[in-house]
Amino acid sequence: MFSKKDTRDFRPLIDGVSMRPLAWEKNTLLCEFNLQKGFKIPAHQHPYEQTGHLISGKMNFRIDKTWQLAEPGDSWSIPENVEHEVEILENSIVFELFSPIRPDYLP
């Protein structure tokens, strides 16, 4: 699959978080997230491996029991079914890859 820039709209997921799928195939899905300062992504887990990269902004990120300050250029990978949460410290842009694909994130 090839996807041109800005061909899909962002859609809200939870307060302060919007997402758009960028490209996908049978086993992976790449998404872009806009995260608004002052909001949180509550603790959760899911059956998807999640790998991300912070393009801009700043976040306090917990994976399992460990908190990390995420700044532009930082990356992470979260195994499936591991609890994680995020405190959004600045407006942020994140690219994340999910495997297997998340059907709920497809257009």
8 Å CB contact between 49 and 84: no
- pLDDT per residue rounded down to tens, the chain (107 residues): 898 888 899 999 999 999 999 999 999 999 999 999 999 999 999 999 999 999 999 999 999 999 999 999 999 999 999 999 999 999 999 999 999 999 999 99
- Structural domains in the chain, CATH included, are 30-105 (2.60.120.10)
- What is the pTM for the complete model shown? 0.94
The amino acid at residue 50 is Q
User: In whole angstroms, what is the distance from residue 92 CA to residue 41 CA?
Assistant: 13
Q: Rounded CA gap, 12 and 62, in Å? A: 22
